[in-house]
Amino acid sequence: MNAISLSPADLAIAGSLVAFDALLSVLLRLGLHRQVLWAAGRMVVQLVAVGYLLRFVFALHHPAATLAIVLVMSAIAAREIAARPERKLKGWAGLALSAGGVAIATVVTVGLALLTAIRPHPWYDARYAVTLVGIVLGSVLNAGSLSLDSLLGGVARERSAIEAQLALGASFHQATARLLREAIRRGLLPIINQMSAAGVITLPGIMTGQILAGLDPLEAVKYQILLMFLLAGASGLSALMMAYGALRRLTDERQRLRLDRLRE
Amino acid sequence: MSPDAPRLRLRGLRSPLAGPFDLDLAAGECLAVGGPSGSGKSLFLRMIADLDPNGGEVALDGMPRPAMAAPDWRRRVAYVAAESGWWRDTVAEHFAPATHAPARALAERLGLPDELFDGPVQRLSTGERQRLAIVRALVLNPPVLLLDEPTGPLDPASIGEMEAVLTARLADGVAMIVVSHDPAQAQRLGARRREMRERRLEAAA
């Protein structure tokens, strides 16, 4: 790969576009200039820090370093999923559920890619493992939080409908099947949109990045297809685990609806 | 099943919110529960139906409740809430196909026009919803019925029709607990009366 290396001056010229946004905000009195500049500055600091961190971790060539960084990223994603829904589970249940869902969805999909398609040597090479986990976690987070929000909101909203079915002898599974389906659907919509738009409406970021970095477009496309499949799998697993796990938590051994396990 | 066991038997039924309750209800017997709102009448029915966590002993015809799967129990000890719940678009979809004929017959006896059955739930009045929710439970032929204000939103003519249907069920041996604020209704149903006060059952005033 013969990537065109960017100099600080190149970035500064592009950065003038952010200054233009800020100027626009001042002229049109949008009240956004502070936010725009702050967000841009924050983005630069975060990315530079991550760049140095990744360079450091890649140089270590140690499975423990790879594992540690993957665990930190997964923990942050799990916390985000648990915090996102409007209605939340009480206590540690929400966090335990999202941590389990994130772990399974990520390990299954990234593990599959590392053991079959990409096969780096060694397989835990941080250059591949950390990058893949980072991409997959985005979809896990998106699908999982949408699915969980839909399920918890739906159960709280449909309480009288669920209990009316239970009172007539329906199983908890029957009484909530529609809400489960609805939640998983919600979780899968973003990846379906992403796949149908890929290449037509949007050029996916990974692919454009690789092409800019000098890779042959068809090679870049193959990578992107592989990634989309991974993201689709991760989204499905995440949506399923969150919705199903939350339902399990909202019932008990006598198949009651336990809304007392939701926070007010 | 022992022949001399009461249809419904409660011993020390309690939850952190209400009880303890003790009660024997024979086949064909009706208990009317009155009392101020918030006194625990609905909680009492929900505990018997096992919709809220509770402890103590409950038995149907001598069969202890833990011996039955929860859905089987609730099909036999059917609870109809004061505010009915609906989960499909049309009324008919809420009934198993095999129960459509008896459901239409019951709805007719309750003064509900037949076309309501094929229409959307959204178009029903509160009173129509309440009557259809009770029909939904009646077509399951449960040996015990727990009815929370079954005639609350009904006009006097509809109340009479509902009481006639319930009286016929009592004559068939169904045991019933009815939450009702009207002592005259208890009398028309031939019911024993109890008052709920501060989440305990007491003799009616």
Name the residue among B52, B75, B83 with its Cβ closest to that of A160. Answer: B83
Distance, in Å, from the CA atom of A230 to the CA atom of B156, rounded to the nearest integer, reads 64
Instruction: Enumerate the residues of chain B whose CB falls inside 8 A of the CB of residue A168.
Output: 74-75, 78, 136-137, 140
Domains and CATH numbers, chain B: 8-203 (3.40.50.300)
CB contact under 8 A, A164 and B140: no
Give me the interface pTM, i.e. the ipTM: 0.94
pLDDT at A2 over 60: no
| CA–CA separation, B140 and B128 (whole Å) | 19
pLDDT at A214: 87
pLDDT tens digits for range A152-177: 999 999 999 999 999 999 999 999 99
Tokens 């989309």 correspond to A228
Quickly list H helices, chain A: 8-27, 33-60, 63-83, 93-112, 126-157, 159-167, 172-197, 205-212, 217-249
A196 with A206, same domain? yes
A-B CB pairs within 8 A amount to 65
- Helical (H) or strand (E) element with B199: none
Q: How far apart are the C-alpha atoms of A87 and B86, rounded to whole Å? A: 22
Chain A residues with CB under 8 Å of a chain B CB are: 158-171, 175, 178, 252, 254-258
> Could you say which of B70, B81, B136 has the minimum Cβ distance to residue A255?
B70
When pLDDT is cut at 50, 70 and 90, the band that residue A179 belongs to is very high
Structural domain count of chain A: 2
B50/A158 CB distance under 8 A:
no
Residue A78 inside a domain? The answer is yes
SS3 A165: helix
In a domain, A2, yes or no: no
Whose CA is closest to B86, among A175, A115, A240, A245?
A175
| Residue A29 resides in a domain | yes
A66 and A42 part of one domain:
no
CB B133 within 8 A of CB B94: no
* Residue-level pLDDT, tens digit, chain B, 205 residues: 556 789 999 999 999 999 899 999 999 999 999 988 888 999 999 999 999 999 999 999 999 999 999 999 999 999 999 999 999 999 999 999 999 999 999 999 999 998 999 999 999 999 999 999 999 999 999 999 999 999 988 999 999 999 999 999 999 999 999 999 889 999 999 989 999 988 888 887 6
Q: Clarify whether residues A12 and A80 are in a common domain.
A: no
Report in angstroms the alpha-carbon separations of B177 from A72, B26, B27, B160, B203: 56, 11, 12, 18, 15
Residue-range definition of the domain harbouring residue A244: 62-261
Distance, CA of B9 to CA of B30 (rounded, Å): 13
| Per-residue pLDDT reduced to its tens digit, A93-150 | 999 999 999 999 999 999 999 988 888 888 888 888 898 999 999 999 999 999 999 9
Q: Which residue has the higher pLDDT, A206 or A186?
A: A186
What is the structure's pLDDT at A150?
A: 96
pLDDT in tens, A12-67: 999 999 999 999 989 998 888 898 899 999 999 999 999 999 999 889 888 999 99
* Contact call for A170 and B71, based on CB within 8 A: yes
Q: Do B80 and A167 touch (CB under 8 A)?
A: yes
Look up the pTM and report it: 0.88
Per-residue pLDDT at A190 exceeds 50: yes
What pLDDT does B199 receive? 87
For residues A29 and A121, membership in a common domain is answered with no
User: pLDDT category, A257, cuts 50, 70, 90?
Assistant: very high
pLDDT score, position A124: 81
CA of B205 vs chain A CAs: smallest distance (Å): 31
Cβ atoms of A111 and A234 closer than 8 Å: no
Q: Check residue B76 and give its pLDDT.
A: 97
Sequence-separated (6 or more) residues with CB below 8 Å from residue B42: B81, B82, B148, B179
Q: Based on the fold, state whether residues A155 and A172 are members of the same structural domain.
A: yes
Q: Which of B71, B81, B133 minimises the CB distance to A169?
A: B71
- B51 contacts in chain A (CB < 8 Å): 163, 166-167, 256-257
Say whether both A115 and A15 belong to one domain: no
Determine the pLDDT at residue A1.
46
Output the six-digit token pair for A112. Answer: 């599959």
Interface contact B74-A167, CB threshold 8 A: yes
**What's the Cα-to-Cα distance from A185 to each of A57, A188, B173, B195, rounded to whole Å?**
37, 5, 47, 48
Specify whether A43 is located in the same domain as A74. no
